[in-house]
Structure 1
Amino acid sequence: MSTLNSDDLACFVCVANTQSISRAALELGADQSTVSRQIARLEAALDARLFHRSGRGVVLTEAGNTLLTYARQVASTLTEARAAVRASTANGPAQMVIAAQPTIANTAFAAIAAALKQRFPATKVRFVEGLASPILAWLAAGEIDVALLYLPEQQGALKVDVLLEEDLTLVTPTSWSHLGATFPARRLGELPMILPSTGHGLRVLAETLAARVGTALNMTLECDASNTVAMRLVEDGCGATMLPFAAVADRVAQGRLHSARIVDPVVTRQVALTTARNRPPVPELWDIMQAVRMSVRNIVMSGAWPGARLV
């Protein structure tokens, strides 16, 4: 048995108002056969004729006049429902959890917080900092909603929006400033390196680069702690590391570290805004991601993300 639906009722109201199948089709942006089928479906569902048809158009039957009253009520109720839903989501979700890797978090979280506070004042925002592997696990488990990540090699479970790219720099003690402003990748094997353990994205990138230029890394320390710890080890003369310039810009300016751009080839990483493919989106996610995207763009354009380029 056929059932009533709001689309057919809306079509019925349009035909009743215009008193013409053809004019209703024009208003609805449909073809006449589609409108005729919708009216026929309604008549079958109600087991009643709704219109008298003539060469000059259509006229409501008694049953049609009865239905028109209810159909207009349905249309009004749906309009009110849409307005109520829009009002309930205007302030955004109750809570939003955003994660980022340390350098990204340090550079972007303050600006993102200000933007979200202005756009969604009722939303409780929680920021989480972590390395790539746990962040990806949190995304998959639904423990966070959005992540800002250095683009991982495997992206199958992610929806990815690349925001920017930045070059990696060689970070050394200031006593090594004789190395200069640039450093050839083929000479990386000459330096004692401090990098995360095998499997971490930065370590994989560094080893891939070394192999590409025909050398091998000289690992003096493995450090899976924060960038702050790695930079302190470099300051204390324990070795060199590789980081985005944004991570070390302040310490370089203070004369606490020396940095050199790695060249031949230049080493670049991309920063992406990511969500999990297997998780349902939170309300207003598109607007939230737009706010995050614009915040990052403004940071880069203002020069507050040293070494970054928009893509």
Structure 2
Amino acid sequence: MNSDDLAVFALVAETGSFSSAALAWGVDASSVSRRMTQLEKTLGVRLFHRTGRGVSVTAQGAALQTYAVQVRDTLAAAQAAISAHAGLGPPRINIAAQPTIARTVFGDLYHVLRKRFPHSRLHFTEGLASALLADLQAGVSDVAVLYRPEHAGSMLYEPLLHERLYLVTPVNYPMTQARVDEHGLDGVPMILPSTHHGLRMFVEAMAARRGYKVQLALESDSSTAITATLVHKGCGCTVLPLASVADDIALGRLRGFPLPGDDAERCICLVLGRTEQEPSTLWSFSSAIREVVTGLVASGAWPGARLSPGPGGPSA
């Protein structure tokens, strides 16, 4: 048993999943699983209860977790002190996010990262999920914050929060919350992106589960601001997270109605790229994003969002 074993063990214990721990550590889930199995053999005890939804620590695991966290935090503090003294840090930090997420997160994230890495060059990118995922695979981006695809497949991700979608209408459109609760988007003329867009796929899949088809008034691959303007001008209605139109609703330019049901929430997740950054540095990036997201939700600055209750990605 060494410090790396304890660090990986602490990650698994905290995330409740081999796959989420692997994502944070920058390795594949099978490597984490094998490493934890070997640690259990070395110690001669079971450290985890394994289920189809993840893992939880046994009594022996809970005892070890206390020491593992202490060792990890001590080593991290020592590394941070040495790096700070030497003026070290990654030369460049590349963070990516989809536009509506970037609008909410990037400002606060800048200050947290600048404090932790004062000598690093920060680079923020916004774009559609397909382009950002390609950048992650190519090692262009270190970390991305994305809406989980409707069909995530084998993509490893860590859920950060869930964001409820709202039906957004012109002020004079005849709509009530009771109508939305009973009929959803059925019969509502919609402004939506083209078919390859994640939001379009999400809305159509949600409609199919509820037994109706989306009535398309206009396809628009424009920014959220342009889409909101199109709705304001009476071109149709749309579906957006509350955070992206909260100001327009507060000013009386638009109306918003929360869509009912668990399937009307989109999961925003953290995805690591094939980067050359050190695992400890990636962990610091990830923890900075978690810190910002948690603060935004707790302060009410991310309206319509709730923190994710547990791990995601393929099961352990």
TM-score by length of 1: 0.68
Pick from 235, 238, 242 the counterpart of residue 238 of structure 1.
235
Note the aligned Cα RMSD (angstroms).
Answer: 2.6
For 1:87, give the aligned amino acid: S
1:1-311 paired onto structure 2 within 5 Å: 86-87=82-83, 91-155=88-152, 158-176=155-173, 178-180=175-177, 183-184=180-181, 186-263=183-260, 267-276=264-273, 278-282=274-278, 284-311=281-308
Deviates more, 1:106-115 or 1:208-217: 208-217
User: Structure 2: how far apart are the matches of 1:264 and 1:154?
Assistant: 19
In structure 2, C-alpha distance between the alignment counterparts of 1:210 and 1:135, rounded to whole Å: 27
Structure 2 distance, partners of 1:302, 1:178, is: 30
Determine if contact 2:91/2:120 at 8 Å carries over to the other structure.
yes
CA distance in 2, matches of 1:187, 1:97: 39
Identity over aligned pairs, percent:
44
Kept in 1, the 8 Å contact 2:206–2:263? The answer is no
| Partner Cα distance (1:137, 1:217) in 2 | 30
Q: Indicate conservation of the 8 Å contact 1:139/1:146, yes or no.
A: yes
CA distance change for structure 1 residues 96 and 302 in 2, over 3 Å: closer, same or farther?
same
Between structure 1 and structure 2, the one with the greater Rg is: 1
Q: Which runs of 5+ in 2 are unaligned?
A: 1-77, 309-316
Contact 2:150 2:202 in 1 (8 A): no
Structure with more contact order per residue of length (Cα contacts < 8 Å, sep ≥ 6): 2
Q: Which contiguous aligned blocks of 4+ residues in structure 1 show a shift greater than 6 angstroms?
A: 82-85
- Residues 200 and 121 of structure 1: is their aligned pair in 2 closer, same or farther, counting only changes over 3 Å? same
Matched length: 230
SS of the aligned residue for 1:292 comes to: helix
CA deviation after TM superposition for structure 1 residue 90, in Å: 6.2
| Residue segments in structure 1 that go unaligned for 5+ positions in a row | 1-81
User: How far off its partner does 1:154 sit?
Assistant: 4.5
Q: Distance in 2 between matches of 1:247 and 1:114?
A: 22
Is the Cα contact below 8 Å between 1:182 and 1:261 reproduced in 2?
no
Matches of 2:80 and 2:169, distance apart in 1 = 58
